[in-house]
Amino acid sequence: MVKFVIAENESNQRLDRFLRKYMARAPLGMIYKIIRKDVKLNGKRASADTVIREGDELTLYISEEKLEELSRPVKKKFSGKQFKVAYEDENLLIVEKPRGLLTHGDSTEKKNTLANQVCGYLMNKGEYEPGKEKSFTPSSVNRLDRNTTGLVIFGKNAETMRTLSEYIRKRRFIRKYYLTIVCGKPDGRMMFDDSIVKDESRNISRIAEKNGEGKKSVTYLTTLIESKDFSIVEAEILTGRTHQIRLHFSNAGFPLVGDSKYGNRRINDMMKKRFGVTSQLLHAYKLVFSEITGKLGYLDGLEVKAGIPKDFADAAAGLGFDPEDLEGLGK
């Protein structure tokens, strides 16, 4: 028999979800069998959907040896650190993700990810001790594609992660802005609200052609700097669809420089040959927190900016943009 008290980082989640994370090596069927027969919460039987709270006493009627066998492995320290810290306090960490690094693991890469690097960073600082956590792991509340650079937010505790995730879901509390270089010269400020349909099998999206098809998507474009044939623009997204910025801008006649899926092949070939650009130059450069209340109320009004990546700056200079103008956009 194993008995323990639910800590703050383990609270406010369903019992089955807690046990699935805590006993990560146990098959799903075993988890639900344990809940039916071998679990008591505060001395009473509990169902899978019971929400556990801080201070609850959980009793597992299995041996310590069996629990150790089923429990998630303790993460080892991850020494690599490719990201830069843009903002940090006791509750959250905002980092600058470099190009080519996955936010979370996928079938092509599971170890060297931004999430693992952040865990290693917090472990080295003594702010995250996996051996003391039964289910909690610091994680991001937003994510960027592998070849998109810029700001990613991580919660250092479960309460902060839940609160920030809710803010991200509601869209208006944390406003996200991107920089990119597009072909052509858009008119000042533009808004796109075309619905988007994703083709999962090809990992490509298209603009919906029929009413009721696809998902509503809203993107704002603001032109910041112009050169002869190109523009550096700011994009603000109010929704988070796959390839939303790239598709909306391309459909309007302003494809992103370097975008192999929705871009201009002739321009892309030139950018690859002259500057080594092999993917879209899309940079999540600014976050603005507004109407934040409660424990995180001190974040209200906070603006966080990322520096401009070197490959972005080099490509912009090569396309005729003044480097001093570009410097004024970053932090």
What domains, with CATH codes, occur in the chain?
Answer: 2-70 (3.10.290.10), 75-170 (3.30.2350.10), 173-331 (3.30.2350.10)
d(CA 102, CA 115): 8
Q: Which residues pair with 206 in a beta bridge?
A: 197
d(CA 49, CA 61): 19
pLDDT of residue 71: 86
311 is catalytic: no
pLDDT of residue 331: 72
The tally of CA atoms less than 13 A away on the side-chain side of residue 157 is: 13
pLDDT of residue 109: 67
pLDDT of residue 107: 64
pLDDT of residue 78: 61
d(CA 18, CA 156): 18
Could you tell me the end-to-end alpha-carbon distance of the chain, in angstroms, rounded to an integer? 54
What global pTM score does this model have? 0.85
pLDDT of residue 209: 85
Report which of 276, 244, 246, 248 is spatially closest to residue 259, judged by C-alpha positions.
246
Instruction: Single out the catalytic residue among 145, 187, 199, 259.
Output: 145
Report which of 216, 229, 275 is spatially closest to residue 255, judged by C-alpha positions.
229
Cα of 49 vs its chain's centroid, Å:
27
- Taking only the tens of pLDDT, the chain with its 331 residues reads 889 899 888 898 999 999 998 888 899 999 999 999 999 999 999 999 999 999 999 999 999 888 888 886 655 556 578 999 999 999 999 999 999 999 987 766 667 899 999 999 999 899 998 878 888 889 999 999 899 999 999 999 999 999 999 998 887 799 999 999 999 999 889 999 989 999 888 888 999 887 878 899 999 999 999 998 999 999 999 888 889 999 999 999 999 999 999 999 999 999 999 989 999 999 999 999 999 999 999 999 999 999 999 999 999 999 999 988 888 887 7
pLDDT of residue 79: 54
pLDDT of residue 75: 56
Q: φ and ψ at 82, to 5 degrees? A: -100, -10
pLDDT of residue 98: 95
pLDDT of residue 188: 86
pLDDT of residue 159: 93
